[in-house]
Structure 1
Amino acid sequence: MRVMAFDYGTKRIGIAVTDPLQMIANSLDTIHPLHIIDYLKKYLQTEQVERFVVGEPKQMDNTPSQSAHHVKGFVNLLTKTFPEIPIDMVDERFTSKMASAVILQSGINKKARQNKGLVDNISATILLQSWLERKAYL
């Protein structure tokens, strides 16, 4: 079964998913928050997901960031809609900066680099990969 990760934003949600053996995180999609539940219901009709991983926005001093209440609302919506799927929270500090660096190093053109959805997608992938690595050490 797969694990699915979300980089939540009020304009876009970056989504990543593991392979069925949970070894590799792959970028999946970027969805507007209004469409996420329909998207997930459709996805879950064809794929088995055993866990959700959600990026937890924190400030440098480890306190919740300004967007934390939006993420909490999203987590509550996931819990209410998919009560059988557990949710893990992962510190998402620096994932957007890391994603931007990956995009810059990839050599894609300037117009493609300005696609904020791409940053959200890669951020979700970084979140999920870090969750996989942490899980491997436990």
Structure 2
Amino acid sequence: MQNYARLIGIDVGKKRCGLAQTDLLQTIASPVGTFSPDEIIDKITHIVEESQVEGFVIGWPLMPNGEEGEATRMVQEFINRLKNLYPEIPVFKIDERYTSNQALDVMIEIGVPQKKRRKKERVDRIAAALILQAYLESKH
């Protein structure tokens, strides 16, 4: 029997967090939006209340040399907050190095004008979808 549940992808940042979600069949990741670190918890709560959520996929910001740093500590604090709110929903970390560059490449490919590509909010939500899509592809 098919289990219909979403995965939620999150690109955590100090000022903004990108949010993405899968469809119920977990075939494709779609950007939801960009939110402040406080707003994103409310948005996640709304998604969890509206539909079954199977897991949170969080971008794990390793440094180029593969080591953890200040950014990973900040993301771990966010993960701890999520686990306190939703202890029954697992959290999966995905290496997010270079997702911002990939997001810019995607915007260029689909013809987003240069002025709009400069908006960090767009990059963050596309990066969240790329993190989530990478997780989906690693499952198959």
Report the TM-score when normalising by structure 2. 0.92
**Where do 1:13-52 residues align within 5 Å?**
13-52=17-56
Cα distance per residue 1:86-120 (max 9 Å; x no partner): 00000001100100111122212222111111100
Where does the alignment leave 5 or more consecutive residues of structure 2 unmatched?
Answer: none
Hey, what does 1:115 align to over in structure 2? Answer: 119
Tell me the secondary structure at the aligned position of residue 70 of structure 2.
Answer: coil
CA distance in 2, matches of 1:108, 1:102: 9
Hey, what does 1:55 align to over in structure 2? Answer: 59
The structure 1 segments of at least 4 consecutive aligned residues displaced by more than 3 Å after TM superposition are none
CA distance in 2, matches of 1:45, 1:79: 16
Aligned mate of 1:94, from 91, 98, 108? 98
Report the TM-score when normalising by structure 1. 0.94
Tell me the secondary structure at the aligned position of residue 67 of structure 1.
Answer: helix
CA distance in 2, matches of 1:97, 1:59: 14
Q: 1:79 is aligned with what amino acid?
A: K
- Count how many residue pairs are aligned between Structure 1 and Structure 2: 136
Where does the alignment leave 5 or more consecutive residues of structure 1 unmatched?
Answer: none
The answer to whether residue 75 in structure 2 is matched with residue 71 in structure 1 is yes
CA drift of 1:45 comes to: 1.6
The answer to whether residue 9 in structure 2 is matched with residue 5 in structure 1 is yes
Tell me the secondary structure at the aligned position of residue 71 of structure 1.
Answer: helix
CA drift of 1:62 comes to: 1.1
Tell me the secondary structure at the aligned position of residue 7 of structure 2.
Answer: strand
Identity of aligned residues (%): 39
CA drift of 1:60 comes to: 2.1
Hey, what does 2:135 align to over in structure 1? Answer: 131
CA distance in 1, matches of 2:129, 2:46: 20
Q: 1:131 is aligned with what amino acid?
A: Y
